[in-house]
Amino acid sequence: MSKLWVLGNGQLGAMLKHAGESLNVEVIPLEIDGDEPLALDVNDVVTAEREHWPDSATTEQLFQHPNFKSHRAFTVIADRLSEKQLFDRLALPTAPWSALSSDSTEVDLYAVLGSSIVLKRRSGGYDGKGQQWLRKSACDVIPQDWRGQAIAEQAIGFDEEISLVGARSALGELVFYPLTLNFHQEGILLASIAPLDRLQRYQAQAEAMLATLMTDLDYVGVLAMECFRVGDQLMINEVAPRVHNSGHWTMNGASMSQFSLHVSAVMGLPVHQPKTNDISVMINILGLEWEPRWISVPNATVYWYDKEVLSGRKLGHINLNIKSATELDASLAMLKGLLSERYDVMFDWLDKNLFKLS
Ligand code: ATP
Ligand code: MG
């Protein structure tokens, strides 16, 4: 059985492992702080489920392995500065930005980027962490210790947030899922819907952007691209060189999940264009205790990550796969009583976006 080592041992690693089982691949997710030498064979393959990691014997050994897939992409994408430079070099639309240097002033940044700015640390951020606003109206101040460590980005008044998950094989074959509509709250993904007929008109534009990136990086595996939609224009927010939360719906809504697709692509197994089934809704379970009644929600599949329950933490997700508005109503009516108040806005968002033609 061929072996795929995974840098990182969170829920994405667990889902990759599960996918590997039916593809005859032994997937081995690893804690990032290990200090024991690993028994890696030169023919084994290595991938990652995260883009930031501390230096440890394990991360060093995995990242330096000759079969660590898409090594360069990780180096470029892990730092928001080189990531933004990549978008600019490839002429891919992205939110206007500047590096936050030791002599940047608030006045200069407002002059270049407008009066509402998001400061983002160059590395280590996730789920909206490592970000803060810089607003002229609030007289915000640049934090001293962010200088040289962050970028400044124009706040975008987007219409909505969408993402594209795609994959490239070692032969250069490209496959894509349909665009996913995402709902974030305080920087954290709360829910996704895919596919949506009304997003089809942006599919070609998004695929061309992601194809440009994957080809330039000589990328192999699944890559996710998060975009803002502003009118008819897509603008890349960021990309992730891995399987992605906004692709979790593919576990129930597609003929091949993003996890199977990633394992196949990095292992040199055949990849094919996944077929999509009906409409999927993915809801993240954030900071809630395990609730067995989730399992009885019609059309739902529950994924629980078995992590310590902490406020706001991603602890699992629920996939709903539905054919009709009637089916959806039954699922949502029951789910409403089983989640917390923070989800009220999400239910409104789902109501607005599902089975509506506009
Ligand atoms: P992830 O968990 O996806 O890795 P992250 O912490 O790396 O998230 P981003 O994806 O850059 O951060 O930002 C999180 C969210 O914050 C975005 O999905 C969006 O809702 C909001 N946001 C980020 N940048 C901007 C911007 N320039 N203008 C407006 N909103 C923004
Ligand atoms: Mg993001």
Ligand 1 atom closest to 188 (CA): 2
Query: 180 pLDDT exceeds 90?
Result: yes
Residue nearest to atom 25 of ligand 1 (CA): 155
SS3 per-residue string spanning the chain: CEEEEEEECCHHHHHHHHHHHCCCEEEEEECCCCCCCCCCCCCCEEEECCCCCCCCHHHHHHHCCCCECCHHHHHHHCCHHHHHHHHHHCCCCECCEEEECCCCCHHHHHHHHCCEEEEEECCCCCCCCCEEEEECCCCCCCCHHHCCCEEEEECCCCCEEEEEEEEECCCCCEEECCCEEEEEECCEEEEEEECCHHHHHHHHHHHHHHHHHHHHCCCCEEEEEEEEEECCEEEEEEEECCCCHHHCCHHHHECCCHHHHHHHHHHCCCCCCCCECCEEEEEEEECCCCCHHHHHCCCEEEEECCCCCCCCCEEEEEEEEECCHHHHHHHHHHHHCCCCHHHHHHHHHHHHHCCCCC
Please, which pLDDT band fits residue 329 given cuts at 50, 70 and 90?
Answer: confident
Q: Does the beta carbon of 156 lie inside 6 Å of ligand 1?
A: yes
Q: Which CATH number fits domain 160-353: 3.30.470.20, 2.50.20.10, 2.70.98.10, 3.40.50.2300?
A: 3.30.470.20
- The yes-or-no answer to whether 4-68 and 160-353 have a common fold is no
Tens-place pLDDT, residues 200-234: 999 999 999 999 999 999 999 999 999 999 999 99
Percent of the chain residues topping a pLDDT of 90: 94
Residue nearest to atom 12 of ligand 1 (CA): 128
Q: Where are the domains of the chain?
A: 4-68, 96-154, 160-353
Structure token pair of residue 341:
């108040």
Query: 128 pLDDT exceeds 90?
Result: no
Q: Does the beta carbon of 49 lie inside 6 Å of ligand 1?
A: no
Handedness of CA 200, 202, 205, 210 (dihedral sign): negative
For residue 190, give the ligand nearest its CA. Answer: 1
Q: Which of 49, 79, 131, 228 to mutate to test the pocket of ligand 1 (most atoms within 8 A of CB)?
A: 131
Query: 47 pLDDT exceeds 60?
Result: yes
Which pLDDT does position 146 carry in this prediction? 95
Contacts of 206 (CB under 8 A, 6+ apart): 162, 164, 176, 179, 225, 227, 234
Q: Cβ(221)–Cβ(69) under 8 Å?
A: yes
pTM: 0.96
User: Stretch 344-351: mean pLDDT, rounded?
Assistant: 96
Q: Does the beta carbon of 155 lie inside 6 Å of ligand 1?
A: yes
1 C-alpha to center of ligand 1: Å? 39
For domain 96-154, the CATH architecture is: 2-Layer Sandwich (3.30)
CATH fold of 4-68 reads Rossmann fold (3.40.50)
Residue nearest to atom 17 of ligand 1 (CA): 187
Which pLDDT does position 356 carry in this prediction? 63
- Quote the CA–CA distance of 341 and 330 in Å, as a whole number: 19
Which of 191 and 354 is assigned the larger pLDDT?
191
Q: Does the beta carbon of 238 lie inside 6 Å of ligand 1?
A: yes
Give the CA angle between residues 31, 33, 37 to the nearest 5°. 85
The bridge status of strand 131-135 relative to strand 116-121 is: antiparallel
Q: Does the beta carbon of 117 lie inside 6 Å of ligand 1?
A: no
Handedness of CA 345, 152, 32, 169 (dihedral sign): positive
Query: 358 pLDDT exceeds 50?
Result: no
Q: Does the beta carbon of 95 lie inside 6 Å of ligand 1?
A: yes
User: Stretch 263-268: mean pLDDT, rounded?
Assistant: 98
Q: Cβ(297)–Cβ(331) under 8 Å?
A: yes
Residue nearest to atom 9 of ligand 1 (CA): 128
Tens-place pLDDT, residues 26-36: 999 999 999 99
Q: Does the beta carbon of 51 lie inside 6 Å of ligand 1?
A: no
Q: Mean of the per-residue pLDDT values for the chain? A: 96
Which pLDDT does position 357 carry in this prediction? 44
Tens-place pLDDT, residues 87-126: 999 999 999 999 999 999 999 999 999 999 999 999 988 8
CA distances from 61 to 9, 67, 230, 290 (A): 16, 11, 42, 36
- Quote the CA–CA distance of 126 and 141 in Å, as a whole number: 22
User: Stretch 317-335: mean pLDDT, rounded?
Assistant: 92
245 C-alpha to center of ligand 2: Å? 10
Structure token pair of residue 159:
């219409």
User: Stretch 234-239: mean pLDDT, rounded?
Assistant: 98
C-beta neighbour count of 309 within 10 angstroms = 11
